[in-house]
Every structure is written in C-alpha cells, then in structure tokens.
C-alpha cells in the first residue's frame, strides 16, 4: 500500500472506529470482545483496502466484516456470553452524549436472539435503512421488517414488565 492509501486508511480508522466499537459492543455485549472484533475487522479491511476503497462503501464493508466475526464467534461457542461489569462507563452514544441507561440496554438486548439483536442494533442504533440492513445481513427487506418488529415487541414487553 502506498503512503496516500495508508493515510486514507488511517483517516478512515479514526473516523469510523467509535461507531464500529459501539455497534460491536451492542452486538456482543462484552466491551473487551467488542474491541477485539473492531481491531480484527480493521485488520481484515486493511489487507483489502485498495479494493474496499474502490468499492465506495468502506464503512458498510467493515460493518459486514464485524457482523461476520460476531456470527462466527457465536457459531463456535453455540451460546452467547453477555457480560456487563460496569467498565464501559465512558461509552458515548451515537449523538455524542453519555449513555445513561447502558446497563439496561445491554440487559434488554440479551433477551433477543442473535439475529433480532443484529437487526435492532443496526436499524435503530446504527440508524441504517431497512435496505442497508438487509444488504449487510444478506436477508430480504421483509425479513428485516418482521425481525425488527419481533425484537422491538420483546423489548417493549420487557420494559412494560419492569415498570409494573
């Protein structure tokens, strides 16, 4: 990779890393595993940077790698290990503020199966369109809609139960 490509990749890493880290954390529920997933995703993208950059969607490609890494980990373990030890107290939310109820968010997301969590996180936290989520997860837009609906219904029911 030439110097210009390296500098461009470094800019990409600086700009995209915080959002990728938040997405990874919500997908896997473990801040340390999220850091590892982002690092591995960026390593894989770096090796293909010329082709990824020419494709015009490096962030979308990196998200796809991140989701694949999470799926691979889930398949290897056949169970999810979600933890929250309070050490993510300085995690900013998408809008730059501080997450006040981050422990509740993680507890609620634990209630969802992996695919529902991916759809809810990408659709409502990463603020991707239904089409973008469908392309990223390689499912239909209808599946995104129904999966998001099921996931949100589960979350609403859990919140209602907690309030009563």
Q: Say which residues have a Cβ less than 8 Å from residue 60's Cβ, sequence separation at least 6.
A: 132, 135, 136
Return the pLDDT at 101: 66
Return the pLDDT at 7: 92
Return the pLDDT at 97: 39
DSSP label at 95? T
Q: Report the distance separating Cα 31 and Cα 53, nearest Å.
A: 28
pTM exceeds 0.75 for this model: no
Return the pLDDT at 99: 47
Return the pLDDT at 30: 86
Kindly give the parts of the chain with pLDDT less than 50.
Answer: 80, 87-99
How many other CB atoms sit within 10 Å of the CB of residue 113?
12
* Residue 146 to residues 71, 116, 125, 126, 142, Cα–Cα distance (Å): 20, 9, 17, 18, 6
* Residue 74 to residues 17, 32, 70, 122, 138, Cα–Cα distance (Å): 22, 15, 6, 18, 17
Return the pLDDT at 154: 93
Give tens-digit pLDDT for 97-143: 344 567 778 888 888 998 999 999 999 888 889 999 999 899 999 99
């Amino acid at each position: 990779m030439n110097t210009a490509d390296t500098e461009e990749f470094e800019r990409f890493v600086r700009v995209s890393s915080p959002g990728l880290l938040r997405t990874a954390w919500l997908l896997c529920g473990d801040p340390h595993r999220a850091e590892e997933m982002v690092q591995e995703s960026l390593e894989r993208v770096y090796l293909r940077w010329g082709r990824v950059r020419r494709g015009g969607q490096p962030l979308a490609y990196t998200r796809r790698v991140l989701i694949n890494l999470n799926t691979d980990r889930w398949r290897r373990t056949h169970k999810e290990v979600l933890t929250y030890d309070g050490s993510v107290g300085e995690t900013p939310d998408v809008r730059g503020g501080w997450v006040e109820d981050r422990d509740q968010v993680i507890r609620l997301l634990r209630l969802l199966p992996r695919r529902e969590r991916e759809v809810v996180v990408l659709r409502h936290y990463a603020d991707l369109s239904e089409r973008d989520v469908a392309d990223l997860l390689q499912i239909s837009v209808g599946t995104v809609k129904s999966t998001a609906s099921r996931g949100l219904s589960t979350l609403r029911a859990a919140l209602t139960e907690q309030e009563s």
